Amino acid sequence: MNPGTYLGTVDLTIVAPAFLAGILVLITHVPLGAQVLKRGIVFIDLAIAQIAALGVIVAGMTNLDPQGWLLQVAAGTAALLGAFLLTWTEKRWPEVQEAQIGVLFILAATGGLLLVAHNPHGGEHLQDLLAGQILWVRYEQLLIPAIGTAAIVAMLLFFKERLRRLGFYLVFALAVTASVQLVGVYLVFASLIVPSLGVRNYGGQKRLPLAYLIGIGGYGAGLLLSTIFDLPSGALIVWCLALLAILVYASGPRKELAPN
């Protein structure tokens, strides 16, 4: 069948809240991603996101309401504990911090596998946390993330680049907590890192607006294409983000290589 015949079936009542969820994620993740690249701790987002996902799994074992605030508290608590742990390891062994972040990620990931090993729906739940179910987000699910986003934006504007190690990790943990449940671990990582990579050679005033455009374009194109071609939304958004970032990077200024 001609893909064009699907265009009439695109349901904006489904796409619109999913796109809004993506915007909420991008509002905080784009500036935080720039800080992650600047600090050279690229995989912290994967680690914190996976720890937040582990908190969701643990909370889910107690039959909490999947949309309730107690589940958000459980995920946030897990992410904050991870942030405190990473702060401590960076103070104690700063020369191997990236390796420690990787170890923490793999421990959280395998911990989740162990916890759902005897759950008949465990594999499906893990898949949802990793790849996300952004296309099925509803407006009522966005209230708590919207409040959290507003609070994080206020903190980022107030402190700007004065956030020290612990403050940055804590703000980062709070930002990742809600977004993992909205869009999944893969999209959290892509939203943080991909736009910032695409604009890294641009001047300071252009960098942030262009990064946001990459993010907005990637989410919009990915959601529309996923409904037209009936493909997984999260995976397609990641690819759209990457392709747009490559295009923006290729169209931008070249960084001068240092002489030998």
What CATH number did the domain enclosing 181 receive? 1.10.3470.10
Q: Considering the entire predicted model, what is its pTM? A: 0.84
Q: Does some domain include residue 129?
A: yes
User: Does the structure show a pLDDT above 70 at 238?
Assistant: yes
CA dihedral 136, 223, 179, 91 (to 10 degrees): 150
What 3-state DSSP class applies to 43? Answer: coil
Q: Convert the pLDDT of each residue in 30-81 to its tens digit.
A: 999 998 888 777 778 788 888 988 888 887 777 666 566 777 787 888 888 9
Give the CA distances from residue 140 to residues 75, 145, 218, 240, in Å, rounded to whole numbers and listed in that order. 19, 10, 24, 27
Query: Which amino acid appears at position 235 of this protein?
Result: A
> Which pLDDT band holds residue 257 (cuts at 50, 70, 90)?
very low
pLDDT: is 210 or 119 the higher one? Answer: 210
- pLDDT score for 241: 97
Angle 173-177-182 from CA coordinates, rounded to 5°: 145
The whole-angstrom distance between residue 92's C-alpha and the CA centroid of its chain comes to 27
Least confident of 47-56, 212-221, 222-231: 47-56
Average of per-residue pLDDT values in the chain: 85
User: Does the structure show a pLDDT above 50 at 3?
Assistant: no
Q: Does some domain include residue 63?
A: yes
123-160 as b/e: b if 16+ CB within 10 A: eebbebbbbbbbbebeeebbebbbebbeebeebbeeee
- Structural domain that includes position 134: 3-250
Q: Does some domain include residue 45?
A: yes
Q: Does some domain include residue 258?
A: no
Q: Does some domain include residue 256?
A: no
**Contact (Cβ atoms closer than 8 angstroms) between residue 100 and residue 89:** yes
Q: How many domains does the chain have?
A: 1
Q: Does some domain include residue 259?
A: no
What 3-state DSSP class applies to 32? Answer: helix
User: Does the structure show a pLDDT above 50 at 255?
Assistant: yes
Q: Convert the pLDDT of each residue in 133-145 to its tens digit.
A: 898 899 988 988 8
> Which pLDDT band holds residue 1 (cuts at 50, 70, 90)?
very low
User: Does the structure show a pLDDT above 50 at 107?
Assistant: yes
pLDDT: is 179 or 45 the higher one? Answer: 179
Q: Does some domain include residue 7?
A: yes
Q: Does some domain include residue 152?
A: yes
